[in-house]
Amino acid sequence: MLQLYRDLASIEKAGPAVAWNYVSGIRQFVMEFATFPRRGPVRDGIIPGLRIIGYRRNVSIAFVVEDDSVLVLGVFYGGRDIAAEILQERL
């Protein structure tokens, strides 16, 4: 998230305020997992229980629901390839 903020803040049309609002929106979206964690299709072929959902068309959030908790494995920007190896390292 910090890198995403830095990338957006460095764009002249965006700037720090827009970057902060965008990243804050992602954080709020992720916090809503507490209410409804089992959203998005399960992608067991990559990691058992893996779910990947989009945020505002530009961000993908990879996570796993474990009992009473949600483990966010990554926030990926701009259609970045979400490789199984990257996610496995974060479990």
Mean pLDDT of all residues belonging to the chain: 86
pTM above 0.85, yes or no: no
Give the tens place of pLDDT for each residue, 5-18: 888 888 878 889 98
- Give dist(CA 60, CA 24) in Å, integer: 15
Domains of the chain with bracketed CATH: 2-89 (3.30.2310.20)
- Give the angle subtended at the CA of 33 by the CAs of 54 and 53, to the nearest 5°: 15
Q: Cite the beta strand spans of 1-91 per DSSP E.
A: 50-55, 59-66, 69-77
Tokens, residue 72: 């966010």
In angstroms, the CA 62 to CA 91 distance is 11
How is residue 88 written in tokens? Answer: 């496995």
